[in-house]
Structures are given as structure tokens and as C-alpha cells.
A = this chain, B = another copy of it.
């Protein structure tokens, strides 16, 4: 039994109740709030030293990243984060100043987005720092965007530029909260996800939940400067397009909206968020599977998220 089989098996038998609109399997859990017209969003995420950051990261960056990952998931449903709880599992030799600096990073981000930090706890994890954060959010029911609504003929969009996040962006990215709320308020967004596992991998999640396929246009995929730089500097190098397709932790938004509104959406975006790129990178297809179109034709992207380049 592999990891995905196990998760599927565990998810199938989780207890539920009448408050649950959507349990495991999307960016956040969606719950009835008791308020007409509003859902509660509920999300948890952890970062672990040596896995999500190295010991040379600044504590402020670690705190920022730990909270920003959760906020990015709230953004993926066009929600508004309201409150967070923080669990710090501390290694043996921690210093008070280190903790204060982690909180400084979290607090600054929380304040920027109106999020209250309402408690949590500290415990011990002798070998390495682990931070687990849970976040509550809210969203108007008709504006809540799931992974599952993509339709044949939709255009696919992605914010920002992709790839190479590990060279720095993964520690200081901004969750796209204002952007996703604006999108859901102004356009019929059919499906959305935030990019944590890489464009190809996360698009597969969206396609799977929506029961559709997609074709990406290679030349439309926005490649980050960091990915291009890494391709020049590293050896063996990863082609920048491959980095944009498969590098994790971009924390940009990927979404599907009707193809006929692609042009007005791009125009309105440019007006609203002139400093953040939005790219139309392909389309949803009724045929299942993920394909990439480039100058040499159309080919399948492999199931593992990776693609072989000549």
C-alpha cells in the first residue's frame, strides 16, 4: 500500500457529522458556520526543520512561512482567514530570542491579513523544530471555490512566476488572499488550488477532483527568474520549463474559469494587480490526462508529475 492508497483508505473511514460540507481532500475543510450564507474554512499545516526549512533560515522567515502556507490554502478557496493557533515543538537547545523572532515573523504576516493569533502551545521535539499551525477562515457560500468545479472548455490561469522557489521565495512568499477574493468576487471561478507540490502535481489534483483533463501550453507557462538562473548556474541543470512544471512551494494560485471570459479577466487583473503577473497557461479538456503542447506537438506529462525533455 503506497502513501496515496493509505490516505484514500483513511479518508474513506473518517467520522463525519452534519456540520461538514467538505472534509479531507481540498485545500481546506469546509464547514457550516451556522450563519446563513457563510461557510467556515478550517486548515492545518506543519513545517519541519530539515524538510521545509534549514537551520540557516532566519526565525522570522520560518514563522512567516509556517503561517503563510496555511493562509495560502485559505486563499485557494477564496476565503478570508480570521484566527490561527500555533504549536511550537521545540528542540532541546532553543533560545527565548529564537522563539520571539519566529513570532515576530508570524505576527507581521497575521497583522497584514487581519488574522488573530489566539493561542496554541509549546511542546518539546528534541531533535528539530516543528511548527504546526491551524487556521480558521470564512467565505461567502457562493464565492467558495473548490478544486472540483473545472469544466471542459475552461481556461487555466496561474498567478506569478513558477519554479526555483527553494532559492528563497519559499521563505517569504505572500499568500494570494486579496487576489483570490477579488477573483471570486468578480468572475465565475470554477476551480482553484494553491501550488505547493508543483504546477503539474497540483494541476493533477484539481483535474482528478473535477473529473477532467487539461492541455498546457509550454510557451505560456511563466518561468521565474530563479528557475532560469538555477538552470544556468547548476550542473546538471534542470530545464527552466521543467522547474516551472515540477518545483514545489510556488504558493501561487492555479485556477480554471470559462474560456470566454479569459480576455476580460486578464484585462481586469492587469488593472487591479499591475505588479503581479497572471498567465493563461492552457485549457481544461473533457479527455482525461495532462498534456503539454509545445512547438514539437502535444505529449503527455507523466503521472509522477515529471516530464522527460529531449
B130 touches A128 (CB 8 A): no
Provide a sorted-by-A list of 18 A–B residue pairs whose CB atoms are within 8 angstroms. A1-B96, A6-B99, A10-B100, A16-B116, A17-B82, A17-B116, A19-B83, A20-B116, A23-B119, A29-B118, A33-B34, A40-B40, A44-B85, A45-B121, A48-B124, A87-B132, A125-B125, A125-B128
A44 touches B107 (CB 8 A): no
Minimum CB distance partner of A119 in chain B: B24
A15 touches B110 (CB 8 A): yes
Residues of B within 8 A of A87 (CB): 44-46, 132
Q: Is A115 an interface residue (CB 8 A)?
A: yes
Residues of B within 8 A of A89 (CB): 46, 48, 130, 132
A38 touches B34 (CB 8 A): yes
Residues of B within 8 A of A111 (CB): 15
B116 touches A23 (CB 8 A): yes
Minimum CB distance partner of A134 in chain B: B134
B15 touches A85 (CB 8 A): no
Minimum distance in angstroms from A175 CB to a CB of chain B: 15
